[in-house]
Amino acid sequence: MSENNIYQYSATLINKNEVSLADYQGKVLLIVNTASKCGLTPQFEGLENLYKKYQEKGLVILGFPCDQFANQEFAEDEKIDSFCKLNYGVTFPMFSKIAVNGEQTHPIFKYLKKELPGFIGLPQIKWNFTKFLLDQKGNPVKRYAPTDKPEDIEKDIVDLL
């Protein structure tokens, strides 16, 4: 596997199954660090709408719950899963809770932050719902701020599909 794409990494789905990101080769990926109790949590609705609209054309959204910002995520994966499904009808893949900053940063987010540093080149994730768009070859294309709504990035997704 080339070191220049996301496919070298794997992660644990919220149902505890390990998945290789290589399983998503040929898909446009939108990777998002999420939280269930955040002011931006309603973005789940927009993310799910994008997923439903473009899933057949090759979009996959990957949600990574994180509790590093003001403790805005549930402790248990089961609670996160049921919250997302019951409140927002989330059907896109959700993963077990991870860290996106600090020593425990998940390798996927280490890679994404290195490839697409944030504001003025700082790699840190500033808040929940930071989004990373990747092309069909696993190359990171664009990083979006937490306040960028899913519907505002639809054109970029369509351009890649």
Which listed residue (6, 32, 35, 38) is catalytic? 38
Report helix, strand or coil for 72: coil
Residue 138: what are its φ and ψ, rounded to 5°?
A: 85, 10
If one counts every other C-beta atom within 10 angstroms of the C-beta of residue 114, the result is 10
Report yes or no: 92 and 51 within 8 Å, Cβ to Cβ: yes
From the centroid of its chain, how far is CA 11?
12
Report helix, strand or coil for 44: helix
Query: Is 84 among the residues known to form the active site?
Result: no
- The structure tokens listed for 127 are 């808040």
Q: Which residues are catalytic?
A: 38
